[in-house]
Amino acid sequence: MDEQTLRKALSNIPLGGLRYLEKTGSTNDVALAWAADGAPDLTLVVAGEQTAGRGRGSHGWFTAPGTSLAFSLIFRPLPAEEQVTPLFSALGALAVCEVLAVQGFHPEIKWPNDVLLSRKKVCGVLAESIWAGEKVDSLVLGIGLNITPEALPPPDQLDFPATCLEAEVPFPRQDTGSLEQVILLQQIIQAVRYWRVLLTSSVFIHSWERHLAFRGEQVEIWTTGQASRIGQLDGLEQDGRLRLLTPQGRPFSVQFGEVHLRPVV
């Protein structure tokens, strides 16, 4: 990807601003600094390589040049969106999922916001906010999508199996032209814009729920430092919390936060 191709591909999208960095520490860090400096809504930061990419919790996010999509979008939440800011990370996952589905893949979302192909993680989302008192002033949505096998970190650095688009190309597809990074990026941003309008509606929750991985299966769920719980993954509550069932069939919900989820095998 180069800046000129990127600007041309995104020229029909009303971005608030656009910065392409061939190499940077973390696009989320650049976007957070730009947001603090007044970047308008729907400003985009894209990097060809990240040397200090960040994942959720204390995890890093490996981005070698030319192997992945790594970008961050800045949002200035509208008054109606301020009530649902925790849903922005799901917005990123749903947008990626819908784009991959149109390309013939069979993506699923590991609640709350990891995108899986063949039950392996292909995309991670990191949403971070800047607060002004009680109110979210701006929100940065960072998305990393593995495209080539070189995007994957060594297996000993993974806490969940990982994959990339090239390893999962749906058979018998010959043409991988539209897997071109800049086209995927353009489609993902358009999908983000489409689903953002629906963020406060039940349509959004239902669409997210439709893509949920491990539905009807036993999963283990835990928060760092706390005991895990096992339950059957049932679906989503109206506010996006995950609903599970105890072995006795009693429902319980899990709030967003530093939550880990894995299937019970």
The answer to whether 55 contacts ligand BTN (rule: CB under 6 A) is yes
Cis before residue 149, ω within 30 degrees of 0?
no
> Which residue among 6, 9, 32, 61 contacts ligand BTN (CB under 6 A)?
61
Q: Which is nearer to ligand BTN, 159 or 197 (CB)?
A: 159
The answer to whether 110 contacts ligand BTN (rule: CB under 6 A) is no
Kindly state the smallest distance separating residue 158's Cβ from ligand BTN, in Å: 11
Amino acid at 44: L
* C-beta separation of 123 from 160 below 8 A: no
H helices of 54-146, in order, are: 88-102
The answer to whether 147 contacts ligand BTN (rule: CB under 6 A) is no
Amino acid at 81: E
Q: Which is nearer to ligand BTN, 127 or 232 (CB)?
A: 127
What is the DSSP annotation of the chain?
A: --HHHHHHHTTTS--SEEEEESSBS-HHHHHHHHHHTTPPTTEEEEES-BSS-B-STT-B--B-TTSEEEEEEEE---GGGGGGGGGHHHHHHHHHHHHHHHTT---EEETTTEEEETTEEEEEEEEEEEEETTEEEEEEEEEEEE-SGGGSPPGGG-SS-B--GGGGPPTT----GGG-HHHHHHHHHHHHHHHHHTTTSHHHHHHHHHTBTTTTSEEEEEETTS--EEEEEEEE-TTS-EEEE-TTS-EEEE-SSSEEEEE--
The answer to whether 59 contacts ligand BTN (rule: CB under 6 A) is yes
> Which residue among 1, 91, 115, 125 contacts ligand BTN (CB under 6 A)?
125
The answer to whether 107 contacts ligand BTN (rule: CB under 6 A) is no
The answer to whether 77 contacts ligand BTN (rule: CB under 6 A) is no
> Strands 251-254 and 135-146: what pairing?
unpaired
> Which residue among 126, 147, 151, 213 contacts ligand BTN (CB under 6 A)?
126
Kindly state the smallest distance separating residue 47's Cβ from ligand BTN, in Å: 7
> Which residue among 43, 67, 72, 138 contacts ligand BTN (CB under 6 A)?
72
Kindly state the smallest distance separating residue 98's Cβ from ligand BTN, in Å: 18
The answer to whether 187 contacts ligand BTN (rule: CB under 6 A) is no
Q: Which stretch binds ligand BTN (CB under 6 A): 121-129, 147-155, 168-176, 249-257?
A: 121-129
The answer to whether 142 contacts ligand BTN (rule: CB under 6 A) is yes
> Which residue among 77, 107, 124, 231 contacts ligand BTN (CB under 6 A)?
124
Restricting to residues 13-32, which ones interact with ligand BTN according to CB under 6 A?
26-28
Residues that bind ligand BTN (CB under 6 A): 26-28, 50, 53-56, 59, 61, 70-72, 114, 124-126, 142-144
